[in-house]
Amino acid sequence: MSRRTTVLACLVTSTLLTLVAATPAAAAAPRSEWDYVALGDSYSSGVGTSGQTGLCLRSANGYPGLWDKANDPKTFRSVACSGATTSSLRSSQLSALGTGTDLVTLTIGGNDVGFASTVITCTLVSDSACAAKVEEARDILENELPAKLDATYADIKRKAPNAKVVVLGYPILFDEKNAYCGVGGMSIPKRKAINAGNAELNDLLAARSQAAGLIWSDVEDEFAGHGICASSPWLNNLTVVPPQNSFHPNSSGYKNGYLPALSGSLD
């Protein structure tokens, strides 16, 4: 190559690089143009607050509905369902996703490790029996749940390859400082055992979601100081009517806990 040709090539390359550098990146689509799908279990369907309907107990006052109301995306659909596990999510919820989906949110994993049965058992039995029940849940968490989460996250990415996928954690359920927790309330040793298992579940969800390239949204900080037994709880204690509200966020929990956590993860 002649010296003249070499100089010309360098000039052309330099000009192209300058043009590329000067061209602004394409602006992200505003949230008003997003297609949003909420997946997950009862913490995503809105159990614990008012307005629950249908077999899946979905409520517009859960965090997905509140985010929809605050951001007015182009479309919003919730297929989250009370009682959902990783298996039922994969078999019955993924059909709501597509290549045009822009945002996916979910909570999942609690039912896989027996969240409901663990908390109910701990309500009724001794401190030592509660600790043993939590250890059973931990065994499932450590030996079975990681592979189930990996498969679930991979399926979501495959069905919605262009979406931001936000995996939200679970709040630490109980305040451990207040000795009194209402009539029939949990003892402090029971609360500590459940909270420790809860934190371990969140740690696993964070690790596996981030390893899958998804967005992790921890809600522990948002709910700090507002656990069950605290002076201003954002979660329901054992509830007789309706019973499913037990140990789920109340309206303040979804509005002041989950919604800010989700919004912050998207900023």
What is the set of active-site residues? 42, 248
Pick left, alpha or beta for residue 101 (phi over 0 → left; psi -120 to 50 → alpha; otherwise beta): beta
Rounded to 5, what percent of the chain is helix, strand, coil? Answer: 50, 10, 40
Q: Decide: helix, strand or coil at residue 225.
A: coil
Say if residue 148 is exposed, middle or buried (CB neighbours under 10 Å; 0-12, 13-18, 19+).
Answer: buried
CA distance 124 to 119: 9
Locus of tokens 């298996």: 87
Query: What are 166's strand-pairing partners?
Result: 105, 215
Say if residue 139 is exposed, middle or buried (CB neighbours under 10 Å; 0-12, 13-18, 19+).
Answer: exposed
CA distance 101 to 162: 7
Could you give the angle at which helices 188-211 and 127-143 cross, rounded to 10 degrees? 10
